[in-house]
């Protein structure tokens, strides 16, 4: 049985676009038919539980019944009972969302905007404020630096203009030695008039080759080898960095396993990484968390 680490993203899309008033616990009992259904369903969504053919069939049958209700309420044809197939659960999130939009037949802008927001949010740290540190974003002019370190929760995100500005990410040193770091950015393309499913995966999540060794400079761990230019891709970008303080947790964080060479993670690996990260970020009794998650956002504008 193969797990689907990004199934939680597809379920977020389904709930936002089609909707279902039932709780995940109720859905779990319906799919698995027992009192352990809620736990099994949660594990299924995050790839911890294999998606056997009979489970996939039950899941999509539930979705299709809800799609029929959605379409019927809007006076649309419901003669085709199988809008979603079991194989669709294994598609990319972008492909699956396109399939959902086609199945819905009619979606207002508000519902589409909510679905876009839910998908972008699903690809960020989504940690409580107490479990996330501010990621420092520094902006440089092409010829000189100017002080603009803005912690998460500042007045507003920094705006970068390609070919004019350079940038650096940094995480404040807290006395612990980081043995490895991971960093990626999630693009919210709505400021550019696009939605999540209008772009490819590689245009939505951009990784620094990870893991890498962060450089301690003064009171900060720098995540880039030096100030870097931004790509000419407009949008709002949510940056996430993870510092690892205990090498023993690397196999539990990185879905590729310990000792993986620095590289970008694909969609399934990213989804699994996010799940592992959120679990490890929870403070352990008497010892705190073995990782530090830092996040912040910035804007890229093509207009100077």
Identify the residue with better confidence: 270 or 35: 270
Mean pLDDT of the chain, nearest integer: 89
CA distances in angstroms from 1 to 49, 53, 60, 198, 203, listed in the order given: 8, 8, 17, 31, 30
Q: What is the pLDDT of residues 51-96, one digit of tens each?
A: 999 999 999 999 999 999 999 999 999 988 899 999 999 999 999 9
pLDDT at 147: 44
Is the confidence at residue 131, as pLDDT, over 60? no
pLDDT at 231: 86
Q: How confident is the model at residue 155 (pLDDT cuts 50, 70, 90)?
A: low
CA distances in angstroms from 11 to 19, 100, 118, listed in the order given: 10, 11, 10
Mean pLDDT over 270-286 rounds to 87
Q: What is the pLDDT of residues 12-50, one digit of tens each?
A: 999 999 999 999 999 999 999 888 999 999 999 999 999
Q: What is the pLDDT of residues 177-228, one digit of tens each?
A: 999 999 999 999 999 999 999 999 999 999 999 999 999 998 999 999 888 8
- Asked if residue 199 has a cis previous peptide bond (ω within 30° of 0), the answer is no
Rounded-to-integer distance, Cα 97 and Cα 267, Å: 14
pLDDT at 151: 42
User: Are 124 and 17 a contacting pair, CB within 8 Å?
Assistant: no
């Amino acid at each position: 049985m193969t797990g689907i680490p990004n199934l939680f993203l597809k379920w977020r899309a389904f709930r936002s676009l089609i909707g279902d008033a039932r709780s995940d616990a109720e859905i779990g009992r319906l799919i698995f038919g027992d009192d352990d259904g809620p736990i099994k369903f949660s594990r299924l969504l995050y790839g911890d539980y294999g998606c056997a053919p009979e489970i996939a069939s039950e899941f999509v049958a539930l979705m299709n019944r809800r799609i029929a209700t959605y379409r019927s309420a809007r006076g649309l044809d419901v003669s085709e009972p199988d809008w979603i197939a079991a194989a669709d659960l294994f598609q990319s999130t972008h492909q699956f969302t396109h399939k959902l939009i086609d199945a819905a037949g009619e979606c207002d802008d508000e519902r589409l905007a909510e679905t876009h927001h839910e998908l972008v949010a699903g690809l960020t740290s989504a940690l409580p404020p107490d479990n996330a540190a501010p990621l420092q974003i520094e902006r440089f002019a092409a010829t000189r630096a100017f002080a603009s370190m803005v912690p998460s929760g500042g007045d507003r995100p920094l705006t970068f203009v390609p070919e004019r500005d350079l940038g650096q990410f940094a995480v404040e040193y807290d006395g612990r030695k980081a043995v490895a770091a991971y960093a990626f950015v999630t693009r919210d393309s709505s400021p550019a008039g696009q939605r999540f499913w209008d772009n490819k995966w590689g245009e939505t999540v951009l990784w620094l080759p990870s893991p890498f060794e962060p450089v301690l400079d003064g009171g900060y761990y720098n995540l880039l080898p030096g100030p870097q230019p931004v790509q000419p891709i407009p949008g709002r970008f949510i940056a996430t960095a993870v510092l690892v303080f205990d090498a023993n947790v690397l196999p539990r964080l990185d879905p590729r396993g310990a000792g993986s060479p620095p590289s970008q993670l694909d969609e399934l690996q990213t989804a699994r990484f996010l799940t592992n990260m959120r679990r490890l970020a929870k403070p352990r009794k008497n010892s705190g968390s073995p990782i530090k998650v830092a996040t912040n956002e910035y804007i890229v504008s093509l207009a100077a």
